[in-house]
Structure 1
Amino acid sequence: MGTTGRESLIRRSGVVARAYAVADAVGARGAFLATCVVLLVVFYYPVGTVLAAAVTSGGHLSIAPLWATLTDPFYFGALAGALANPAGAPDAIVGWVRAGFPAVRTGLFGFTAYLAVLGTGGAVLVGLPGAYVLARYEFRGRETIRSLTVVPFVLPAIMVAVGFTAMFGTHGALNDLLGVVGLHLTVAFDLPLVVAALTFYNAPLVTRFVVAAADTVDARAVETARTLGAPRWRAFLDVVAPQLLPTFLAAVLLVFVFDFMAFPIVLALGGLQLATVEVWIYSLVSNLDLTEAASLAVLEAAITLTLTYVYLRYERGGGAGTASATVERVPLVGPPSAGRLLAAAYALVALVLYVGPLASMIAESLTRAGSLSTANYAFLLAQQLGSGGTRPTVAVSNSLVFAVGAVAIAVPMGVSVAVVTSDKGRLRRLAGALLMAPLAVSGVVTGIGLLQGLVFGVDVLGYHLSVTGPVAIVAAHAVAGYPFVVRNVAPLLARVEGDLVAAARISVPVPRGRSATS
């Protein structure tokens, strides 16, 4: 190939690269724009109409409803008095110290945060040992167990509530076993049961985050530290821990947000006696007190969106690279060691916490009047074959149709958002946090907003527009689920090397009959 041919090839390479760049930009931005339109119609507008009640009074803008909630001791405890009378706060603190630091009322928000701290602590205590076992040891079925860690996170809340009642309830399987040795536990519909259920849900999340980060740790850096004389624990603290810390903190923040907004588990296992902010919003909405519910939702969203922004910051700082040599795992079966004893203890905890509730639920389904029976399944079969009532297969088929439809919409939405917001920068993190709002806004408020806006309909230019039936259900589930797609795709995009993408964009196929060097 002469000079003219090479120049022609270079020009064609530049044209192709620019064409690919334009196509990428148009495709990504077009999909992102479509996602924003869907979010505006299905989420932001409906939720905004509900939250507007928190900043309006008598049809005019006012912070009176929001301020009334902030200064209500029921919601904020002692902090409400400090907000209502800031000048008296120093004297109140002095009086509290002189009284010997008595217990201070924290209000509904304080209890919600307390429950979230307990749930997050349980998730860390159970999730970290699981992450250690999966990251440290090699054994048959390891990948299967790693894949199964996502199962608890996607189980229906009512199923988990039934399983935990069947396992840990007053007449549950655990008490049946303890009764053999004369022991009895009463944890049904109490704080420990709610915390255990939250741990059941979120400990696998900690495990998956930390294991994924451990796979990016460079073994050569660890070996270098050991070669320089660092003991194993010092090499872990100096080399491994700093690489795991951002991902671990991201997992903790995400779990805290989920626990802070816990609704079905708390309502089913604790009721109004253990009401959190989310449960109380539901109670207010049920009583048609939308103004107070909106004020609570605004304050809750302010907290969770702030935490989501911080979570995104830590997430981008962890697991962003790929290890050229990963840390080698050791066989699980071998001579006794502290790590292998930890693995055995964790297996026992997992058996009680994860297998126990699900197995107890299955056992309860095969029990009637204290004896083994298939009467429950016979009832379902009679419903299916009979002419009255709802047939079980109808419910199952509806669930499958809604799930497939939601996935078909949520995946493109999540991928487009992950691509557009993958660049670093404060504005990108802020945009990412706002786009993650479906993850951090009360599901109850979202549902009410959809009913008032999308389902009941709105008048636009003289036309009444509404979306009902399966379309509304699929759209609502897609908007609720797409943040999880973003959170799974974004870390993978961060690991893609920019040089490889650039090389792929400028590569030009060699014409037939010519070699690359001709």
Structure 2
Amino acid sequence: MDRQVGQTDRLRVARRAAERLALPAGLAVALAVLVAVFYYPVGSVLVEAVVRGGRLTAGPLLAVLADPFYTGAASALFADPLSVPSGFVTWLRAGLPPVEFGLFGFTAYQAALSTVASVLLGLPGAYLLSRFEFRGRRTLRSLTILPFVLPSIMVAVGFLAMFGRNGPLNTVLLSLGLGRVDVLFTLEVIVVAHAFYNAPLVVRLVTAAWETVDARRVESARAMGATPLRAFRDVVLPQLLPSLLTAALLTFVFTFMSFPIVLALGGLRLATVEVWLYARVQDLALAEAATLATLETVVTLSLTYLYLRYEARQVRAGSNISLPRRPLLDGVRTLADPARLGLLAYGLLALVVFVGPMASMVLASVTDAGGFTLDYYRFLFDQQVAETAGTTRPLPAIVNSLLFGAGTLLLALPIGVVVSVVATRGGRGSRLAEALLTAPLAVSGVVVGLGLLQTLVFGTVVMGHRLTATGPVAIVLAHAVAAYPFVTRNVTPALGGLDPHLPDAARSLGATRLRALLDVELPLIAAALVAGAAFAFAISIGEFDSTVLLAEGVDSYTMPVALERYIGNRSLGPNLGPATAMGTVLLAVTAASFVVIDRVGGRWER
């Protein structure tokens, strides 16, 4: 009997010891995974750009920076700095002729234009959601998560369908007696597509800030004689600027790294750094690709660091009295109110920009010159049963996407939870740890894919043994790296919003830190966990940047990769129908994840 009691006690002590070590061990495992599948692959790309023949050198970087193709007029700063003053004087004397930006300059230019367009399109939406009440307002606000759910290559297909020569836009223009417009493969359509993706981000961030404006301060300004415009300028606008600048900075980073949108709508003629980097990898110019990846990563990491520093200095003090919302539709008063009429016009514009591409894609998948047709879906079926080598079959793409999504979920969810625990309960240094653990947000998928290709896929020698990862394994790892920061973004606010006395009470009753997390905290934020899981799954389903580099053969290509192949398959001619059919299938699969985010994630959102 005493022996059994002693064994029970030893088991209890061992179990408690294991529970105490579980969280540190989980953090260690998460760090090990990130080192193996993110920091080491990306680091290998960066090292290749500055190491030649075993020696550290800045030669490759300087060669790119001094090349006018990459840096335009700024190349003189690196090729011949002493000639810059005289060159500047010559430029002034010539009457300020146009200056070549180069690849990096054009990338920054299109990102700046896309940021301006996103802000201009997003601000009226933020005003609408924060200042007016109407049926469907909460659902409309939940739709602002679209940029993180819809696969970008699918959005590109929607824009190709909508703005094509025989698309809905030109059909409407011709019915009105106007001529066709040809905007495909222009900078303008790329900017609009970027605004499709990033304007909802502006709406989401600015709406949250607008809803925390203290109504008492506005009322005080009005009582002191300020006009509504003056009260907005002096009281409301200063409180909106931090969120607006944050949204603009994030939009610039995202559009600077944009890849599928530019690849599909611009190609090499309007190539950005990301598209040209992909082209260099396709041409097996890996050394040049590594140099470009290094310079791009330095730019994006620097901008992300500025964003994190700026965000950390903002004080988010809530208000018990927020600005009241007015009814949007108020009878005759609606027709007499310029603001309401302007918002109704904005609603029509937003409907065209945000709903038009997806509706155009679905419509194009079931119509041709003769009307309704299912030929494009029959084409997908024919591709499925074809025995021709190299055929892109839709069913394996769907199955692969679902399997990779499940594998991503198994990796991204625990890593995201561990990072959230570190961020909210880590104490000193937790912010630095969170920044390091969310670094994948600032590194493009193409760079991650290139790093994984050079290390895990081609193989890495460890203690005399070459370790390799097959395409599917490498893809799941790349997807997990891209997805877990979004799990963290969902879980961290919910975990941080819990009463800290709850886990403390569990600890005082003898529970270990792990037991308090599993039994008390995680059940209370179950909705946030499910939302984070849905995000991870949806991001995996739509991930294209790294997948297109790592996918080879029938065992690893996914729906977005298959979609891109249908777009670029010249044997299909100019017909976009098969691509729209595949895009509609991808939309249907992605919609399931979005429904989960909308129905579950909204329950805990504040």
User: TM-score, normalized by length of structure 1?
Assistant: 0.86
* Matches for 1:17-36 after TM superposition, within 5 Å: 29-36=24-31
Question: What's the offset of the Cα at 1:132?
Answer: 0.9
Question: What is the aligned partner in structure 1 of residue 512 from structure 2?
Answer: none
- 3-state SS, counterpart of residue 461 of structure 2: strand
Q: 2:236 aligns with which of 240, 252, 258?
A: 240
Question: What's the offset of the Cα at 1:340?
Answer: 1.0
* Mapped contact 2:202–2:247 kept (Cα < 8 A): yes
- 3-state SS, counterpart of residue 378 of structure 2: helix
Q: 1:156 aligns with which of 151, 154, 160?
A: 151
Query: Is 1:399 aligned with 2:398?
Result: no
Q: Mind listing any 5+ residue stretches in structure 1 that lack a counterpart?
A: 1-21, 510-518
**Distance in 1 of aligned mates of 2:490 and 2:116:** 23
Question: What is the aligned partner in structure 1 of residue 346 from structure 2?
Answer: 346
* Mapped contact 2:45–2:294 kept (Cα < 8 A): no
User: 1:85-112 CA distances to partner (integer Å, 9 max, x unpaired)?
Assistant: 2222222222222222222222111100
Q: 1:62 aligns with which of 57, 68, 75?
A: 57
Question: What is the aligned partner in structure 2 of residue 416 from structure 1?
Answer: 418
What is the total number of aligned residue pairs between the two structures? 485
Question: What's the offset of the Cα at 1:472?
Answer: 2.8
Q: 1:324 aligns with which of 314, 320, 326?
A: 320
- 3-state SS, counterpart of residue 278 of structure 1: helix
**Distance in 1 of aligned mates of 2:168 and 2:481:** 38
**Distance in 1 of aligned mates of 2:129 and 2:405:** 30
Question: What's the offset of the Cα at 1:419?
Answer: 4.0
* Matches for 1:67-82 after TM superposition, within 5 Å: 67-82=62-77
Query: Is 1:91 aligned with 2:93?
Result: no
* Matches for 1:233-312 after TM superposition, within 5 Å: 233-312=229-308
**Distance in 2 of aligned mates of 1:30 and 1:234:** 56
**Distance in 2 of aligned mates of 1:35 and 1:200:** 34
**Distance in 2 of aligned mates of 1:63 and 1:416:** 38
User: Which amino acid is 2:69 matched to?
Assistant: F
* Mapped contact 1:305–1:433 kept (Cα < 8 A): no
Question: What is the aligned partner in structure 1 of residue 105 from structure 2?
Answer: 110
User: Which amino acid is 2:29 matched to?
Assistant: A
Go from structure 1 to structure 2 and tell me whether the alpha carbon gap of 1:296 and 1:76 turns closer, same or farther (over 3 Å shift): same
Go from structure 1 to structure 2 and tell me whether the alpha carbon gap of 1:24 and 1:148 turns closer, same or farther (over 3 Å shift): farther
Question: What's the offset of the Cα at 1:428?
Answer: 6.2
* Mapped contact 1:138–1:332 kept (Cα < 8 A): yes
Question: What's the offset of the Cα at 1:423?
Answer: 8.9
Q: 1:143 aligns with which of 117, 135, 138?
A: 138
Q: 1:39 aligns with which of 2, 12, 34?
A: 34
User: 1:181-206 CA distances to partner (integer Å, 9 max, x unpaired)?
Assistant: 13221101111111111111111111
Question: What is the aligned partner in structure 2 of residue 206 from structure 1?
Answer: 202
Question: What's the offset of the Cα at 1:53?
Answer: 1.6
* Mapped contact 2:134–2:328 kept (Cα < 8 A): yes
* Mapped contact 1:137–1:329 kept (Cα < 8 A): yes
User: Which amino acid is 2:43 matched to?
Assistant: G
Question: What's the offset of the Cα at 1:289?
Answer: 1.2
- 3-state SS, counterpart of residue 186 of structure 1: coil
* Mapped contact 2:173–2:179 kept (Cα < 8 A): yes
Larger relative contact order (CA 8 Å, sep ≥ 6): 1
User: Which amino acid is 2:292 matched to?
Assistant: L
Question: What's the offset of the Cα at 1:232?
Answer: 2.5
Question: What is the aligned partner in structure 2 of residue 315 from structure 1?
Answer: 311
Go from structure 1 to structure 2 and tell me whether the alpha carbon gap of 1:229 and 1:398 turns closer, same or farther (over 3 Å shift): same
Question: What is the aligned partner in structure 2 of residue 226 from structure 1?
Answer: 222
Go from structure 1 to structure 2 and tell me whether the alpha carbon gap of 1:65 and 1:202 turns closer, same or farther (over 3 Å shift): same
User: Which amino acid is 2:372 matched to?
Assistant: L
User: Which amino acid is 1:265 matched to?
Assistant: I
Query: Is 1:363 aligned with 2:363?
Result: yes
* Mapped contact 1:51–1:294 kept (Cα < 8 A): yes
Q: 1:188 aligns with which of 184, 188, 193?
A: 184
Question: What is the aligned partner in structure 1 of residue 46 from structure 2?
Answer: 51
- 3-state SS, counterpart of residue 333 of structure 1: coil
User: Which amino acid is 1:304 matched to?
Assistant: T
Q: 2:475 aligns with which of 473, 476, 484?
A: 473
323-332 vs 64-73, which deviates more? 323-332
User: What RMSD, in angstroms, separates the aligned Cα atoms of the two structures?
Assistant: 2.8
**Distance in 2 of aligned mates of 1:345 and 1:31:** 52
205-214 vs 396-405, which deviates more? 396-405
User: Which amino acid is 2:362 matched to?
Assistant: I
Query: Is 1:451 aligned with 2:453?
Result: yes
- 3-state SS, counterpart of residue 149 of structure 1: helix
User: 1:177-234 CA distances to partner (integer Å, 9 max, x unpaired)?
Assistant: 1012132211011111111111111111111111122233333333333344433233
User: Which amino acid is 1:167 matched to?
Assistant: M
- 3-state SS, counterpart of residue 459 of structure 1: strand
Go from structure 1 to structure 2 and tell me whether the alpha carbon gap of 1:117 and 1:147 turns closer, same or farther (over 3 Å shift): same
**Distance in 2 of aligned mates of 1:193 and 1:262:** 14
Question: What's the offset of the Cα at 1:346?
Answer: 1.5
**Distance in 1 of aligned mates of 2:138 and 2:449:** 38
Question: What's the offset of the Cα at 1:374?
Answer: 1.6
Question: What's the offset of the Cα at 1:148?
Answer: 1.6
**Distance in 2 of aligned mates of 1:434 and 1:37:** 13
* Mapped contact 1:320–1:491 kept (Cα < 8 A): no
User: Which amino acid is 1:326 matched to?
Assistant: S
User: TM-score, normalized by length of structure 2?
Assistant: 0.74
Go from structure 1 to structure 2 and tell me whether the alpha carbon gap of 1:84 and 1:491 turns closer, same or farther (over 3 Å shift): farther
Question: What is the aligned partner in structure 2 of residue 4 from structure 1?
Answer: none
User: Which amino acid is 1:344 matched to?
Assistant: L
* Mapped contact 2:131–2:325 kept (Cα < 8 A): yes
* Mapped contact 1:247–1:319 kept (Cα < 8 A): no
**Distance in 1 of aligned mates of 2:221 and 2:254:** 38
**Distance in 2 of aligned mates of 1:425 and 1:257:** 29
Question: What is the aligned partner in structure 2 of residue 5 from structure 1?
Answer: none
* Mapped contact 1:54–1:294 kept (Cα < 8 A): yes
